Amino acid sequence: MVRYAEGDENLLKYLASIANDFKCAIGLVLGQVTAQRYNLIHLAKTPPFQTSDPQNEEKTIQNLTTVTDINEGWIADHARQTTRMLPGGMYVLGIFIVSDEELLTPFNSKLKSLLNGINKTLQAQSYLFGNGDNEKLIIQYSPKNLKCLAKTYDVDTFNVQPVELKLSQKGVKLVGFECLYQIDHVYHLKEEDSRGPLRKHIKVILEDINKHLETAIILFDNDLKDPDEKIENMSKKKKVPRGSSNKIDNHDDCSKPIPVAIFKKCKNPENYTSLEPLSISGQIHIIGEISLRLWLNAKASFGDAIVAVKEDLMRSLSTRMEMHWDSLTEEELGEEINSVHEPPRRVLITLPESNVTISDYLFPGEGPEDVKASLEELLDIKADSQLELLDLEGQADIAQYYGSQVPCVQSKITSTDSSKFMYLLGLGVAFLMLIVSIIVHFYMTD
């Protein structure tokens, strides 16, 4: 069965521009799969492989002359870093090759190695959700005949199938979704685990948050949707005020994102087990806001949207946790006192000639110049000096947390037990004074 790949005709122009500058080039195909169709959103040329000489600090850039020159680990790492920037529901669909070599007929063994390497790398990243489909897409553009050919390669069955490309001005109709999710999660540190590595605790925290998210209820525009309902069938009709000549207002604005609300299920008090005071030595408190914005094909279902929302949240959260861990110094990892850490915040950038937004993450003190470097290196987007960032989360104000240290669970429990003890002690002293007063009274009378 022939599969289809649809996208904007500007993608073909992009491939032609690469052919003008490079004899051989490789890059990533970004998008999503809906109803057995590949929706092509963006093509990102992989930066030239860089090698460094131990005796020389300068790096040597290697341009490709043939497919055999491609470094598999370099491509796989490009896929990993790029996936971090993608919204939920979008993936690295495969790769594109600019070359006049005969690669697809027969299917080149080097391409199989490249796609298997990407698949293994993305599969190993927890909560990155990098593998949307086992069938990876390969697009080859030939500078000689100015044509594109495409096929799929199944990394499980090794099956190769033809793909029909449809690149036009119409492109792909996408619908946006947005949400601002409040996170307030407390992770209790047991005494026997408190000295373990921070990475271990971060992994457990992500697992716990993901477990709660799996059972969450998600509303779209304040409505609980049937997972099988198509997004394009969502009613855009809104009632108008009384007295208006029109009873129904036909509304079809796909450029306005659909608001999403996430409700976690509350814990059952009957199943709540109290913590032993002596078994808790501290806590990690994760608090803040996570901005979500993603884009799906109008023919996708709300079930797909639910999966994409959860993927977007966990992909963004796990990415910042990983980046935060990598940024910590040895002194910070060894802290044994209360401390406040500020992971990078999420900013959104709109792809050129599209309304789709991708993500980047900024640490305190970083700005548009840092985002510009990431766009040029990972997505091959030439950003100008007037780059606009959509900062929905904003800079965190952590001064309040430094002003008052967050007590651990043990201190709360100790405080409660101490209050009870002082209360009983006061009653005991009062009763003792009463007895002494009675004795003194009889002694003075005699």
3-state secondary structure the chain: CCEEEEEECHHHHHHHHHHHHCCCEEEEEEEEEECCEEEEEEEEECCCEEEEECCEEEEEEECCCCHHHCCHHHHHHHHHHHHHHCCCCCEEEEEEEECCCCCECCECHHHHHHHHHHHHHHHCCCCCCCCCCCEEEEEEEECCCCEEEEEEEECCCCCEEEEEEEEECCCCCEEEEEEEEEEEEEEEEECCCCCCCHHHHHHHHHHHHHHHHHCCEEEECCECCCCCCEHHHCCCEEECCCCCCCCEEECCCCCCCEEEEEECCCCCHHHCCCCCHHHEEEEEEEEEEEEEEEEEECCCEHHHHHHHHHHHHHHHHHHHHHHHHHHCCHHHHCCCCCCCCCCCEEEEEECCCCCCEEEEEECCCCCHHHHHHHHHHHCCCCCCCCCCCECCCCCCCCHHHHHCCCCCHHHHHHHHHHHHHHHHHHHHHHHHHHHHHHHHHHHHHC
pLDDT of residue 131: 81
Mean pLDDT of the region 393-402:
68
Q: Which amino acid is at 430?
A: A
Mean pLDDT of the region 127-136:
88
* CA within 13 Å, CB half, 167: 19
- CATH architecture label of 3-168: 3-Layer(aba) Sandwich (3.40)
Most confident of 93-102, 118-127, 378-387: 93-102
The pLDDT tens digits of the residues spanning 340-349 come to 778 899 999 9
Yes or no: say if 398 and 338 are a contact pair by the CB < 8 Å rule. Answer: no
* CA within 13 Å, CB half, 446: 5
Query: Does pLDDT of 390 surpass 80?
Result: yes
* Distance, C-alpha 178 to centroid of its chain: 14
pLDDT of residue 361: 93
Query: Does pLDDT of 410 surpass 60?
Result: no
Query: Does pLDDT of 12 surpass 60?
Result: yes
pLDDT of residue 400: 63
Give the bridge partners for 33, in sequence order.
38
Instruction: Give the residue, 368 or 426, on which the prediction is more confident.
Output: 368
Q: Which amino acid is at 225?
A: K
Query: Does pLDDT of 411 surpass 90?
Result: no
Residue reference for tokens 């008052």: 404
Give dist(CA 208, CA 311) in Å, integer.
15
pLDDT tier for residue 419 given thresholds of 50, 70 and 90:
very low
Residue reference for tokens 């030439």: 382
pLDDT of residue 213: 92
Which whole-number Å values give the CA distances from 397 to 147, 378, 401, 402, in the listed order? 53, 30, 9, 10
Which residues lie closer than 8 Å to 279 by C-beta, 6 or more apart? 190, 191
pLDDT tier for residue 413 given thresholds of 50, 70 and 90:
very low
pLDDT of residue 434: 52
Query: Does pLDDT of 146 surpass 60?
Result: yes
pLDDT tier for residue 329 given thresholds of 50, 70 and 90:
low
Q: Where are the domains of the chain?
A: 3-168, 174-403, 419-446
Identify the CA nearest to 81 among candidates 358, 389, 444: 358
Instruction: Give the residue, 426 or 152, on which the prediction is more confident.
Output: 152
pLDDT of residue 184: 86
Yes or no: say if 82 and 28 are a contact pair by the CB < 8 Å rule. Answer: yes
